[in-house]
């Protein structure tokens, strides 16, 4: 709506003007995984890998016009760059947001290679992925084939995969930022920054566990909690936005979670915040079940069950405590 109004008034932002000449990214076989074959998805991946250096150059030149140095994120601590990138997106993206393309299913299923704004989403995903590859051991691009991915949104899509980060559909993540750049549920700058930096936090937690020589299965379980969407189902992430000392099971939140019969785990994410992850006990879930969609009735039912258990156990809700659902991208 914002972009449409600005166009009607002839008041287009700087990014919108620059996108007029922005090179488009054309995927050989567009559409959701269900519309493709494994062979077509593989060709999409090969095309993506071949185009990746050029797309990285293109988006780097665009961001440089706004004073954002991509190289600094590749060689140094990427968090300051990602926070500046979030501020830029919060300021500039509302002016290029198209309400129709902001709808997830319209974007997810449709061919959109001729659009500059959606090409920018692809390029931002490439940039973010390359930053992760520069800083996260074993992270790399992949295309998700096979029946074990069927029914999940990343099926036959290009994602960033790795033992420390799981499966990250970065293009979908940036579309979510695009979607929330306007409208009733517009994200603030800190929400965008949290989305961009979350993968780094998860990887750092995983690395700290490895350094402490914790068993691999414990680390993998913790990563599942950190994403909120685990192989075993939905987890509820409860994040203390203001740093708190969480030291023992005497903490009222942990006591309430324990009384509610819920699994919980504490993680100290480096530098900024503490997390408590709460979810249904694994015994309550089928170990081999397919991860449902976020708005799937089963997902919503699980969320309601967790919320009800926490309320019944007197789980404290206080200022500075944020309850957030996170999809496994």
Q: Are both 201 and 218 inside the same structural domain?
A: no
Determine how β-strand 273-279 pairs with β-strand 233-240: antiparallel
| Per-residue model confidence (pLDDT) at position 45 | 96
Contact between 173 and 229 under an 8 Å Cβ cutoff? The reply is no
> Both 160 and 67 in a single domain?
yes
Domain end residue (candidates: 205, 225, 257): 205
Domain boundary among the residues 168, 186, 205 is at: 205
Identify the pLDDT of residue 192: 84
pLDDT of residue 183: 75
Q: Provide the b/e sequence for 142-166 (b: ≥16 CB within 10 Å).
A: ebbbeeebeebbbbbbbbbbbbbbb
Kindly report whether the global pTM for this prediction surpasses the value 0.95.
no
pLDDT digits (tens, 9 = 90+) for 35-54: 889 999 999 999 999 999 99
Domain co-membership, 186 together with 234: no
User: Is residue 329 in some structural domain?
Assistant: no
Residue 197 has what pLDDT?
A: 82
Question: Are 183 and 227 in a shared domain?
Answer: no
- Report the chain's C-alpha Rg in angstroms: 20
Inter-helix orientation angle 170-179/189-211, to 10°: 150
Query: What is the domain extent for residue 94?
Result: 2-205
Instruction: Write down which residue in 205, 230, 256 finishes a domain.
Output: 205
| Closest listed residue to residue 74, CA positions, set 48, 99, 56 | 56
In tens, the pLDDT along 191-221 reads 788 778 877 876 776 665 555 444 333 333 3
**Mean pLDDT (10-residue bins), the chain, 329 residues:** 46 88 93 87 96 98 97 93 94 93 84 84 97 91 76 80 81 90 80 80 63 42 36 32 34 56 49 46 42 55 65 50 31
**Total structural domains within the chain:** 2
pLDDT of residue 262: 57
Of 325, 300, 323, residue with least CA distance to 311: 323
Same domain? For 145 and 273 the reply is: no
Task: Clarify whether residues 153 and 285 are in a common domain.
Answer: no
């Amino acid at each position: 709506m914002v972009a449409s109004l600005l166009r009607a008034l002839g008041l287009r932002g700087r990014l919108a003007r620059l996108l007029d000449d922005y090179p488009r990214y054309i995927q050989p076989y567009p559409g959701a995984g269900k519309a493709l074959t494994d062979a077509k998805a593989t060709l999409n991946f090969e095309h993506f890998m071949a185009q990746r250096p050029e797309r990285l150059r293109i988006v780097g030149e665009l961001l440089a016009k706004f004073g954002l140095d991509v190289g600094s994120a590749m060689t140094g601590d990427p968090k300051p760059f990602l926070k500046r990138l979030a501020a830029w997106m919060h300021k500039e993206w509302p002016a290029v947001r198209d309400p129709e393309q902001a709808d997830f299913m319209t974007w997810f299923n449709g061919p959109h290679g001729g659009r500059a704004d959606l090409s920018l989403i692809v390029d931002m995903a490439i940039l973010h992925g390359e930053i992760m590859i520069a800083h996260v051991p074993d992270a790399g691009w992949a295309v998700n084939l096979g029946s074990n991915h069927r029914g999940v949104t990343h099926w036959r899509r290009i994602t960033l995969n790795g033992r420390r980060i799981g499966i990250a559909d970065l293009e979908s993540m940036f579309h979510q930022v695009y979607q929330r750049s306007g409208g009733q549920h517009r994200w603030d700058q800190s929400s965008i920054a949290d989305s961009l930096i979350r993968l780094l936090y998860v990887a750092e937690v995983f690395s700290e566990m490895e350094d402490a020589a914790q068993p691999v299965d414990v680390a993998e379980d913790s990563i599942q909690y950190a994403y909120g969407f685990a192989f075993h189902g939905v987890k509820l992430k409860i994040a203390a936005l203001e740093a708190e000392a969480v030291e023992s099971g005497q903490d009222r939140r942990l006591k309430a979670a324990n009384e509610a019969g819920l699994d919980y785990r504490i993680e100290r994410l480096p530098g900024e915040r503490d997390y408590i992850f709460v979810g249904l006990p694994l015994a309550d879930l089928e170990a081999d079940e397919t991860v449902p969609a976020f708005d799937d009735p089963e997902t919503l039912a699980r969320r309601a069950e967790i919320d009800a258990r926490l309320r019944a156990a007197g789980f404290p809700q206080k200022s500075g405590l944020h309850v957030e659902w996170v999809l496994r991208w």
